[in-house]
Amino acid sequence: MPTGPSALKDALSRATAMIESGDVDGALELLRTEAWAVAENNSHKVQVISLAAEAKIAKGDIDMDNRKAHWQDAHNSYQRAQKLEPSNKEIRRAQNKLASMMDEQSISLGKGWQLFDDGNPTPTGLAAVFVGVMVFLVAFKFAGEALEQSVENIEGTSGSVLMEVSWTDINGDFHNGKIWIELYNETPMHSASFRANAEAERYDGTIFHRIVDGFMIQGGDFENRDGTGGHAGQYFGYCANAGYESSSICENDMTNWVIPAEFGQTHDPGVIAAARSSHQNSAGSQFYLVDSNGASNLDGQYTAFGKAYRGEIDGQQVDGITVIDAISQVGCGPNQDTCTDQNKLSTYPVTIERVSVID
């Protein structure tokens, strides 16, 4: 059998043609045998696995009765590919797209354990019931500890992110800069939501739609780009369409996900905080970065969940607050004055090129 990149390219090309013609099973067999045999490194394997995921998605469209299983297999394939090549953004985009499709169809990402079959408990279900009773009997003893851990175990509650931005100043000169942000442990839901939206690349290419010199710069509306849209990156039990209260009605509709308030952190210079409407639990994806003047008047009213880093990283001095201050000076209004009117959009767009999760 021929080996090397040309052999792999030929196998992938034939498998793609088979998928397009509806011969999904044949494509999967070709990928499992011939294509996999000539994959020489992780990059090659990722190509094979990701195409297999596409085939499984297509199979879910053909075999509608078993779509759930096929799409879950596809999602697992993307996870395998992501582990082999964590920096591959194409795989991440494809995985996120599939996750959204599954969410629309109310399909869980994992197969999980089947507890019931046609309303009757399976052996696993009976065991789960027994374990549930035992857990209930000791619940009160460990209630306090469990409550603490329930917050700590929210995925991605803190860590660092890098926000890369570009803008045009009042003189028409182009600039770019980097803002390193440390997310707070004390605001686990807001930190996790921001990380989730960043990992899904929803912020990439969006703009700071509201800029107020001497105060803050606001962005994060990846839906409408004007301050009227954007939802939480994870489901925390609160829904916009339930009056911003705790509810399960939007569990499978991420467009209505919101974050309950986590007040307590101060609005020091460089702080990143969650924008919201009049209800304290209405925060979604939008955020604002406070400039060097600080905004202590917002303490206790809005959730500050991180802070721009000022110091040394890998031997280089970084200062996100200086970048925030520079952005606040972009032109605004017919006379190109700096933006002091809170209701005016900047004349020149300030773009968030990308937000990357560092750790």
- Considering the domain architecture, whether residues 204 and 341 belong to the same structural domain is answered as yes
User: What CATH number should be reported for the domain holding residue 79?
Assistant: 1.25.40.10
**Radius of gyration of the chain from Cα atoms?**
24
Are 339 and 212 in contact, with CB atoms under 8 Å apart?
yes
CA 105, CA 8: separation in Å to the nearest integer? 34
What would the mean pLDDT of 299-311 be, rounded to a whole number? 94
Distance of CA 300 to the CA centre of its chain: 26
Flag whether 119 is in a domain. Answer: no
Last residue of a domain, one of 117, 136, 152: 152
- Considering the domain architecture, whether residues 235 and 346 belong to the same structural domain is answered as yes
- Considering the domain architecture, whether residues 192 and 45 belong to the same structural domain is answered as no
Give the confidence band of 337 by pLDDT, cuts at 50, 70, 90: low
Q: How many domains does the chain have?
A: 3
pLDDT of amino acid 345: 58
- Candidates 149, 228, 233, 153; CA nearest to 195 is 233
User: What CATH number should be reported for the domain holding residue 175?
Assistant: 2.40.100.10
Residue 303 has pLDDT above 90, yes or no: yes
Are 306 and 220 in contact, with CB atoms under 8 Å apart?
no
pLDDT of amino acid 188: 94
Residue 358 has pLDDT above 50, yes or no: yes
pLDDT tens readout for residues 218-227: 999 999 888 8
- Considering the domain architecture, whether residues 136 and 265 belong to the same structural domain is answered as no
pLDDT of amino acid 149: 35
- Considering the domain architecture, whether residues 208 and 332 belong to the same structural domain is answered as yes
Last residue of a domain, one of 35, 69, 104: 104
Tokens of 127: 């065991």
Flag whether 120 is in a domain. Answer: no
pTM over 0.85: no
pLDDT of amino acid 122: 44
Flag whether 109 is in a domain. Answer: no
Listed in order, strand segments (DSSP E) in 96-255 are 116-117, 120-121, 159-168, 174-183, 206-212, 216-219, 238-239, 245-246
- Considering the domain architecture, whether residues 223 and 350 belong to the same structural domain is answered as yes
Higher pLDDT, 179 or 35: 179
What would the mean pLDDT of 314-339 be, rounded to a whole number? 77
Domain range for 142 is 125-152
pLDDT of amino acid 314: 75
Q: Determine whether 336 is exposed, middle or buried from the number of CB atoms within 10 Å of its CB (0-12, 13-18, 19+).
A: middle
- Ranges 47-56, 63-72, 81-90: which has the least confidence: 81-90
Are 197 and 190 in contact, with CB atoms under 8 Å apart?
no
pLDDT tens readout for residues 246-274: 999 999 999 999 999 999 999 999 999 99
pLDDT tens readout for residues 113-164: 344 443 444 444 444 445 454 544 444 344 334 333 333 334 444 688 999 9
Residue 286 has pLDDT above 90, yes or no: yes
Residue 233 has pLDDT above 50, yes or no: yes
Higher pLDDT, 81 or 298: 298
Percentage of the chain modeled with pLDDT above 70: 79
- Considering the domain architecture, whether residues 170 and 145 belong to the same structural domain is answered as no
Average pLDDT, the chain: 81
Look up residue 126 and give its DSSP letter.
H
- Considering the domain architecture, whether residues 51 and 189 belong to the same structural domain is answered as no
pLDDT of amino acid 146: 34
Flag whether 113 is in a domain. Answer: no
Residue 236 has pLDDT above 90, yes or no: yes
Tokens of 180: 């390193």
CA 222, CA 225: separation in Å to the nearest integer? 6
- Considering the domain architecture, whether residues 140 and 164 belong to the same structural domain is answered as no
pLDDT of amino acid 151: 36
- Considering the domain architecture, whether residues 138 and 39 belong to the same structural domain is answered as no
- Ranges 20-29, 134-143, 197-206: which has the least confidence: 134-143
Distance of CA 301 to the CA centre of its chain: 25
pLDDT of amino acid 349: 75
